[in-house]
């Protein structure tokens, strides 16, 4: 069952023409599972409906292509915000049931998907929310047939609401921000990956204790969903196909060296100008970047935290330039705010690469 990873461009959040062209190369009856990881060109504010529009359009396109059966086997993770030199695009993951595909000699990319039940308004931002993330990540591991040791990256979409109603469990209204929802989900994912102890997670630690963080989770939020959605990437021994996933880390949002180290570890060549020389082998690149609490970068003051422009927009724009200068491509999934996903100010990165003929 080889995995295929394809990129498609969008002229606007609801454009699925390129998606359908890429799907046309597959037999829908042979698709075991399908996932879309999409960056839309919305403003990423609470009243940004580009994600909802894109989600609805993608669902209709998948149903048009493969009917309700394929739609049921599909996972959709949409994120808005394409500031800087970042192309609005989608990443298509397809797991094909192909009995003739030879198993790899080493290991190859597999992916797993899972979705939680719906969360009620007063559960979002609580320990119930974190535990549901843990369970959903575990479900994605089971779907991919891997253990936490095999997992390279977990991508989590988590719900956010502007206000949670007061209940017996929550005496006062509390605004659940995007950062807070990401914090809850990141720690829940960390428990599933055996990177965070469940006993360490308490309501007062969410978005507050920087010593707690997962190392293989990228989390983003949206008010268009009321459930947790997970796409998990792993290299599984004996899996079919010629793709594999490599992860790395960044010490800050200017850390081009961290990106280069990741590409080199994936088997890519870096030329004398510091650029990826065989970029055609890279089929997907993902970065999760953050900023320190004081907004300083390498000790110097910036306006990342003090500007009228949202911090995440600053970060995505900056990283798109740094990554673009190394990879030479504007198609990259860049998400901001690494709360509980990396040390303060740090980040994580990943790429999916096609093996070279000599590997």
Residues 167-221 have pLDDT tens digits of 434 444 466 888 999 999 999 999 999 999 999 999 999 999 989 999 999 999 9
State whether 197 and 268 are in the same domain: no
Q: Is residue 189 part of a domain?
A: yes
> Could you tell me the pLDDT band of residue 358, with boundaries at 50, 70 and 90?
low
279 phi, psi to nearest 5 deg = -60, -20
Q: Is 79 found in the same domain as 37?
A: yes
Is residue 345 scored above 80 in pLDDT?
yes
Tell which residue, 90, 140, 91, has the closest CA to residue 115: 140
Residue 355: partners with Cβ closer than 8 Å, 6 or more residues away: 242, 243, 244, 267, 281
Q: Which ranges of 145-255 would DSSP assign to H, the alpha helix? A: 178-192
The pLDDT of residue 88 is above 50? yes
Please check whether residues 186 and 275 belong to one and the same domain. no
pLDDT of 1-11, one tens digit each?
Answer: 699 999 999 99
Q: Which of 233, 254, 283 is the last residue of a domain?
A: 233
Across 62-86, average pLDDT: 96
What is the pLDDT, as a whole number, of residue 163? Answer: 45
Tell me, yes or no, whether 21 lies in a domain: yes
- For residues 169 and 131, membership in a common domain is answered with yes
Q: Could you read off the pLDDT of 113-128 as tens digits, one per residue?
A: 999 999 998 999 999 9
- Say how many C-beta atoms besides its own lie within 10 A of residue 107's C-beta: 17
Quick one: pLDDT at residue 176? 80
Rounded CA gap, 155 and 83, in Å? 20
User: What whole-number distance in Å separates Cα of residue 300 and Cα of residue 134?
Assistant: 37
* CA dist., res. 156 & res. 114, Å (int): 10
The distance from CA 74 to its chain's CA centroid, rounded to whole angstroms, is 16
What is the pLDDT confidence band of residue 106, given thresholds at 50, 70 and 90? confident
Q: How far apart, in whole angstroms, are the C-alpha atoms of residue 54 and residue 200? A: 37
d(CA 323, CA 331): 10
Mean pLDDT, rounded, of the chain: 92
In this structure, the answer to whether residues 223 and 246 fall within a common structural domain is no
Interhelix angle 311-327/256-265, rounded to 10 degrees, is 50
Stretch 227-252: mean pLDDT, rounded? 96
Q: What value does the mean pLDDT take over residues 274-303?
A: 95
- Are 223 and 127 members of one domain? yes
- The encoded tokens of residue 64 equal 């048009």
Domain CATH for 92: 3.30.1330.170
Q: Give the distance, in angstroms, between the CA of residue 340 and the centroid of all CA atoms in the same chain.
A: 15
Q: What percent of the chain has pLDDT over 70?
A: 93
The last residue of a domain, from among 175, 205, 233: 233
**Does an H or E element contain 137, and which?**
helix 127-144
Q: 140 lies in a domain?
A: yes
Are 76 and 132 within one domain?
no
- Classify residue 197: in a domain, yes or no: yes
pLDDT tier for residue 302 given thresholds of 50, 70 and 90: very high
Kindly tell me if the per-residue pLDDT of 291 is higher than 80: yes
C-alpha 323/C-alpha 333 separation (Å) is: 10
Predicted local confidence at residue 167, as pLDDT: 47
Give the pLDDT confidence of 156-177 residue by residue, as tens digits: 999 987 544 444 344 444 668 8
Q: In terms of domains, do 68 and 114 share one?
A: no
Residues 80 and 138 both lie in one domain: no
CB 200 within 8 A of CB 262: no
Residues 86 and 144 occupy one common structural domain:
no
Closest CA to 107 of 136, 149, 138: 149
291 located within any domain: yes
For residues 75 and 152, membership in a common domain is answered with: no
d(CA 7, CA 18): 9
Work out how many domains the chain is built from and give that number. Answer: 3
Tell me, yes or no, whether 133 lies in a domain. yes
Strand 3-9 with 89-96, pairing: antiparallel
For residue 315, give the CATH number of its domain.
3.30.1330.160
Q: Quote the pLDDT of residue 286.
A: 98
150 falls within a domain: yes
Could you write out the three-class secondary structure of 259-303? HHHHHHHCCCCECCCCCECCHHHEEEEEEEECCCCCCCECCECCC
What pLDDT is recorded for position 44?
79
Rounded to a whole number of angstroms, the CA Rg of the chain reads 19
- Residue 166: predicted pLDDT: 47
Q: How far apart are CA 174 and CA 197, in angstroms?
A: 26
Domain boundary pick from 200, 233, 266: 233
**Is residue 93 one of the residues assigned to a domain?**
yes
Structural domain span for residue 279: 242-354
pLDDT (0 to 100) of residue 129: 97
pLDDT grade for 45, boundaries at 50, 70 and 90: confident
Between 264 and 100, where is the model more confident? 264
Strand order across the 89-96 sheet: 3-9, 89-96, 31-40, 74-80
Residues 302 and 320 in one domain: yes
Predicted pLDDT of residue 119: 95
State residue 356's pLDDT score: 76
CATH of the domain at 159: 3.30.1330.180
């Amino acid at each position: 069952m080889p995995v295929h990873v394809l990129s498609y461009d969008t002229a606007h959040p609801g454009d699925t023409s390129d998606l359908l062209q890429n799907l046309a190369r597959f037999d829908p009856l042979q698709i075991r599972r399908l996932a879309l990881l999409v960056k839309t060109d919305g403003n990423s504010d609470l009243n940004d409906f580009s994600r909802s529009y894109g989600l609805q359009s993608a669902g209709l396109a998948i149903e048009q292509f493969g009917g309700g059966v394929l739609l049921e086997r599909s996972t959709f993770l949409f994120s808005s915000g394409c500031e800087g030199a970042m192309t609005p695009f989608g990443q298509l993951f397809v797991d094909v049931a192909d009995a003739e595909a030879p198993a790899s000699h080493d290991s190859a990319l597999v992916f797993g998907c899972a979705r939680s039940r719906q969360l009620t308004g007063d559960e979002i931002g609580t320990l119930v929310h974190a535990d549901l993330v843990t369970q959903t990540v575990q479900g994605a591991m089971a779907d991919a047939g891997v253990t936490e040791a095999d997992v390279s990256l977990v991508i989590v979409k988590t719900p956010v609401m502007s206000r949670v109603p007061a209940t017996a469990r929550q005496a006062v209204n509390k605004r659940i921000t995007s950062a807070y929802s990401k914090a809850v989900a990141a720690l829940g994912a960390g428990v599933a990956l055996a990177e965070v102890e469940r006993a360490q997670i308490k309501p007062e630690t969410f978005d507050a204790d920087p010593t707690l963080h997962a190392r293989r989770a990228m989390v983003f939020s949206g008010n268009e969903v009321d459930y947790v959605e997970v796409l998990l990437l792993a290299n599984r021994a004996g899996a079919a196909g010629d793709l594999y996933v490599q992860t790395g880390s960044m010490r800050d949002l200017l850390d081009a060296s961290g990106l280069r180290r990741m590409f080199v570890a994936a088997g890519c060549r870096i030329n004398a100008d510091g650029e990826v020389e065989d970029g055609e082998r890279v089929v997907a690149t993902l970065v999760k970047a953050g900023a320190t609490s004081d907004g300083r970068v390498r000790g110097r003051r910036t306006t990342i935290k003090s500007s009228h422009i949202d911090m995440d927009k600053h970060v995505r724009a900056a990283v798109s330039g740094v990554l673009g200068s190394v990879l030479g491509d504007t198609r990259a999934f860049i998400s901001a705010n690494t709360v509980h996903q990396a040390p303060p100010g740090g980040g994580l990165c990943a790429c999916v690469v096609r093996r070279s003929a000599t590997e």
